[in-house]
Amino acid sequence: DMLPAPASYIATRRMYEHVLHAGAAEKKLVVLCFCSTACAGSDRIAAKYREFALRFSDDAICVKIDVVHFEDLKERCKVTSTPTFVFIRDGAPVDQLAGSNDVTLFVKFLKHTKKEAPPPKDPWGSTLGASGRRAESAGATGEQRGAQ
């Protein structure tokens, strides 16, 4: 069986099982994006998810699961909102991200594939730390200045 194209929808339960098996056999991360065509957040993150799926294709198998067609998988993976990304290694979930924050998603791809990459930039141009939060600038904070 062929794997689906990066970031494409799985069509059958058999394809879902095949993706999990291939991930374990090839020692790759499997990323399941639980989404819905009626969800604005799912639409918002779709292009970035595809970009990451292609960028990390040597280390990860990335697919989408439509929650309307696979309600049981949604429940099995404890997904309560869309989009939700479930990260699986060796057949077991290792992480989960709810929401459409592309920076946090990128950081999780880096963490779970052990890829070296420059940290992503936030829209204001400052470098984001591993936590996904803007790095604090050196120097006193407003509270500290007020106490002096």
Kindly give, in sequence order, each residue whose CB lies less than 8 Å from that of residue 34, ignoring residues fewer than 6 positions away: 64, 65, 67, 73, 74, 77, 79, 82, 83, 84, 85, 86
Q: What is the pTM of this model?
A: 0.76
The answer to whether residues 31 and 61 touch, using CB atoms and an 8 Å cutoff, is yes
Using pLDDT thresholds of 50, 70 and 90, give the confidence band for residue 120. Answer: low
Tens digits of per-residue pLDDT, 63-93?
Answer: 999 999 999 999 999 999 999 999 999 999 9
Helix (H) or strand (E) holding 47: helix 40-55
Within 8 A by CB and 6+ apart from 146, the residues are none
Report the half-sphere exposure of 24 (CA within 13 A, side-chain side).
9
Q: In the predicted model, is pLDDT for residue 30 greater than 80? A: yes
**Which region, left, alpha or beta, applies to residue 126 given φ > 0 means left and ψ of -120 to 50 means alpha?**
beta
Which residues on adjacent β-strands are paired with residue 65?
A: 34
Band the pLDDT of 139: cuts 50, 70, 90.
Answer: very low
Q: Which residue has the higher pLDDT, 127 or 22?
A: 22
Q: Is the pLDDT of residue 56 over 60?
A: yes
